[in-house]
Structure formats: structure tokens, C-alpha cells
Amino acid sequence: MTDQDPHTTDPDRTRSTARGAELRSELAITDARRAEEETAKAHEAVEQATKQEEQLSGKEQKARARAKAAEEEAERSRKQAEAVAQRAPQAAPGVSGANVASPGLGSNTDPSAAAAASRGSTTARPAAVAAGGAAPATGSDRPEVLVGAAFAGAFVLARVLKRLVD
């Protein structure tokens, strides 16, 4: 019995060796399947990345075309503005009496003139408009003042309603 393999004489041992070989075979098959699945996932990821790259490339080309069109439009507008500026008569830069403002109110100003200036004299307003100047703006002529007033009113109303509810 010494010249025979000890594994061949014991039937339990032979079966367990065979079962171990089967398990190693199944494990190798499972490892091969996992590798195949990983390869398929990697291939799918490459295809998806290629597709995304094509989409982004298309977006990039569209964005470049829009930028080029906007640049051309800006250039046309710039040339048109230059042409209009060249056709317009050049105003003589200088100081005229209509553009000179009065020195304002001071400590040595006539009291009746100061009172007329503070109440918005009706004679001063048409003269300024006739001279080419604009009429002085009031708060209701400026949209930012109106928006601020609306915001302040809404804030006060919200505070009042909050007090009533609480």
C-alpha cells in the first residue's frame, strides 16, 4: 500500500477532492462571467461617453455659431452707428448763455428771489424748457422712486396685517 496514492484508497477523500475540483471549476466560470460583465459595462460606458461627447460637440458648434452671429451683428451695429455719427451735423462745442446755470442761492440773495426759487417759480420753469433744458423731475416721474414707495407701502401693510393676526 505504500506505492499507491493514499487519496485513491479512501473513497471519502476521493469524493471530497473531486468536489473541490468542481467548486474551483465553478468559481473559475463565475470569475470569467464577472470579467465578461465588467467588459460589457466598460464598453457601454465608452459608448455612452462617445454619445455624450457628440452631443456636447453639437452644442459647442451651435454656441460658436451664435457667438459668431452676435459678433457680426455687433460689428454691423457699430458700423451703422459710425455712419449715423458721420452724417449728423457736428455741434459746435462751446458755452452759450442758455447752458449756463445761475449761481444759486446764497446768504446775500434777495429774500423774494429765494422764496420764488424755493416754491418753484412758474416763470423759471418755462424759461428752462424753452432754452432746451428739461423740466425738473419730480418723484413721481422717476420709476425707481415709485418702486421704492410701492415696496415701502407693502412692507408697512405687511407689518400692520401681522400685528392684526398675532
How does DSSP assign 99-156, residue by residue? GPPP----TTS-HHHHHHHHTT-TTHHHHHHHTTPPPPPPGGG-HHHHHHHHHHHHHH
Residue keyed to cell 451703422 = 80
CA distances from 132 to 97, 116, 155 (A): 12, 22, 40
* C-alpha–C-alpha distance, residues 162 and 156, integer Å: 10
Q: Estimate to the nearest angstrom the gap between the alpha carbon of 139 and the chain centroid.
A: 33
Residue keyed to cell 442761492 = 105
Q: Tell me which residue of 122, 123, 131 sits closest to 101, measured CA to CA.
A: 131
| 137 or 16, higher pLDDT | 16
* C-alpha–C-alpha distance, residues 68 and 62, integer Å: 10
User: Would you say 13 and 7 are in contact if contact means Cβ atoms under 8 Å apart?
Assistant: yes
When pLDDT is cut at 50, 70 and 90, the band that residue 33 belongs to is: very high
* C-alpha–C-alpha distance, residues 119 and 104, integer Å: 14
User: Would you say 145 and 139 are in contact if contact means Cβ atoms under 8 Å apart?
Assistant: yes
The 10s digit of each residue's pLDDT in 127-160 is 545 555 555 567 677 888 889 999 999 999 999 9
Domain spans of the chain?
Answer: 6-81
Phi-psi region of 132 (alpha: psi -120 to 50; beta: other; left: phi over 0): left
When pLDDT is cut at 50, 70 and 90, the band that residue 10 belongs to is: confident
The model's pTM is: 0.33
